[in-house]
Structure 1
Amino acid sequence: MADSYDLSDEGYSKSGKRLGMYIYILPNLMTIANLFCGFISVIYSIQGEFKMAAIAVVIAAVFDQLDGRLARLTHATSKFGAELDSLCDLVSFGLAPAMLMYLWALQPYGRIGLMACFLFVACGALRLARFNVQVGVVEKNYFQGLPIPMAAGIVTTSFLAFNDLGWTPDKFRSLLCFMVVLMAFVMVSNFRYRSFKDLDLKERKAFKYLVAGLVILVVVAMYPEIMLFVLFLSYGTLGAVFGILQLGKKRKLMKANAYAPEATKEEDLQEEQDEE
């Protein structure tokens, strides 16, 4: 019977035997790679290698996309994977970009800069926690609040854009501090952002869409550091503007969507044999 199992952190059944858990290896390895990139980014920021720290966050975002896609393609979604993904995202897209921004630009502001970066991390944690508890009742085509990878992308690519243009943060510290605080509040807002999970690239489209995609690819390839910052910032700004002006489709509740992790099942657990 399913109720004979205790799904607590201790992992013991009512009979007193320890429980092990079956997990999906490939998507969770991608999630761990995401965490590794976030960890490396923090180390690079401490060492003053801000460009490498920013690149590590961008690579972490690639792994973050891969783990979700792999889980859905292989039908390997699980509650364990969802919780692990959120914990890793907090490091890679919360702590790592905040460390980069503080040590690169906001450290001269002292406590103000420190608390602005902490606010970014804290709101990122709240954003992830809210997403986990609402994943079964919100529209799959929209996010509630700016996703934390996008917020991290805006923060980290701001350094890449400044570095490519040869700018220093000295004259822009106030603007950068305001940007970090704004991203923090937008993450925990109720603004709706398109998730593009309903976008099916396998469908046949008009020829003009291919031409448009080619133009975007060429522009981004010419100035990748600057254009990534522009794209991330545009996504975050447009969602906030639409939210303030209450434009777009009215929010509605939906049943649990196909991207929601499945609950832990009895067959995912096994009793470990006592060695004694």
Structure 2
Amino acid sequence: MHDGVQPVADADEAPARPRRKGIYILPNLFTLAALFGGFYGIVMAMNGRFEQAAIGIFCAMVLDSLDGRVARMTNTQSTFGEQMDSLSDMVSFGAAPALIVYEWALKGLGKLGWIAAFVYCSCAALRLARFNTNLGVVDKRFFQGLPSPAAAALVMGFIWLMDDSGFKVALTGDWLRWTAFGFAMYAGLTMVTNVPFYSFKDVSFKRSVPFIVIVAIALGIAVINIHAPSVLFGVFCIYGLSGYVVYVWKRMKGRPVSVIATSMDEPDEEGLHR
């Protein structure tokens, strides 16, 4: 017996080291693959292969949509994964589309060209930062502003369609440069608006669906394969306008248009909730 006296640790005994936290492999593999898609797009654009650049960004979109779902399905969510996903999105859907559209058309506009590319890139960064800070207070059914993957698809879909149709900037003149300028500015600025865009996050893949839904998915895949550039570009054009349609419709019905579910006390966040 020690009469209540705690034994003294041996002076030579080293203190126990805290156990290191590991990194989940599966969801981060999808995130790294999405990051590679953005990097691949930049490299292809530097070599003048813009169709491959667009395909790289669209592949990054698919992979980005899977990493979060895989993490939730396998119960492997982590703070590291969230931060990694944001950094990957900034490269694949922020910096990469800005650099690709600049290399494709905007550099022919001089300072206005690189300003448009910078506006897009900076708006993507601002949109991702706002998304991360407002994650707990935004209505999950809607995005606050155009999501960065959709903005990238809008710009890259236009490049892919024009390149596939044989329209070359060097041969068509300034109208193609100015159209690319308009798409870059629209996509960039729409990312930082408060316009609500449907997020599809309330769609559950665990619930049973009618047989006709599977048939519709098969038909959708078939339609995309008819001419992928035009179909994908058309789909994202519709989505890129849908938020403004919802905004106007809610205004006309007198319904609230903000996607902020609860108020925040920080004065710096006041402008986000109007």
What is the DSSP-based 3-state SS (H/G/I as helix, E as strand, rest coil) of the residue aligned with 1:199? coil
The unaligned stretches of length 5 or more in structure 1 are 1-14, 256-276
**Segments of 4+ moved more than 3 angstroms:** 17-21, 201-215, 244-255
Q: 1:19 to 1:87 in 2, by over 3 A?
A: farther
- The answer to whether structure 1 residue 67 and structure 2 residue 71 are counterparts is no
Kindly provide the amino acid, as one letter, of the partner of residue 102 in structure 1. Answer: Y
Query: Once structures 1 and 2 are overlaid, which stretch shifts more, 170-179 or 149-158?
Result: 170-179
State the one-letter code of the partner of 1:86.
Answer: S
Separation of aligned partners in 2, 1:185 and 1:245: 21
Among 196, 200, 211, the alignment partner of 1:196 is 200
Identity of aligned residues (%): 39
Structure 2 residue 131 is matched with structure 1 residue 127: no
Amino acid at match of 2:62: V
Cα–Cα, structure 1 residues 108 and 229, in superposed 2: closer, same or farther, change >3 Å?
same
Equivalent residue letter for 1:230: G
Gapped regions of structure 2 (runs ≥ 5): 1-14, 263-274
Question: How far apart in 1 are the matches of 2:259 and 2:40?
Answer: 40
What is aligned with 1:115? 115
Higher RCO (Cα < 8 Å, 6 or more apart): 1
For the pair 1:41 / 2:45, whether they are aligned, the reply is no
> How many aligned residue pairs are there?
240
Q: CA deviation at 1:44?
A: 1.5
The one-letter code sitting in structure 2 at the alignment partner of 1:81 is: G
After superposition, residues 75-154 of structure 1 pair within 5 angstroms as 75-154=75-154
Give the drift of 1:104: 0.7
- Sort the Cα spacing of 1:252 and 1:144 in 2 relative to 1 into closer, same or farther, 3 A: closer
The residue type equivalent to 1:120 in the other structure is Y
> Which residue type is aligned with residue 55 of structure 2?
I
Q: Is the 8 A contact 1:186 1:240 kept in 2?
A: no
Q: Which moved more, 1:244-253 or 1:110-119?
A: 244-253
Give distance in 1, aligned partners of 2:20 and 2:176. Answer: 52
In the TM superposition, residue 111 of structure 1 has moved relative to its aligned partner by 0.7
Corresponding residue number in structure 2 for 1:222: 226
* TM-score (normalised: structure 2): 0.80
Q: 1:54 to 1:210 in 2, by over 3 A?
A: same
Paired with 1:62 and 1:213, the residues of 2 have a C-alpha distance of 16
Measure the CA separation in 2 of the matches of 1:182 and 1:252. 21
In the TM superposition, 1:221-240 aligns within 5 A as 221-240=225-244
Q: Partners of 1:131 and 1:172 in 2: how far apart?
A: 32
Matched, 1:32 2:32: yes
The residue aligned with 1:53 is: 53
Which residue in the other structure is 1:21 paired with? 21
1:35 offset after TM fit, Å? 1.3
Query: 1:268 maps to what in 2?
Result: none
Residues 191-233 of structure 1 show CA distances to partners (whole Å, capped at 9, x for unaligned) of 1111111112443444554444343332221011110011111
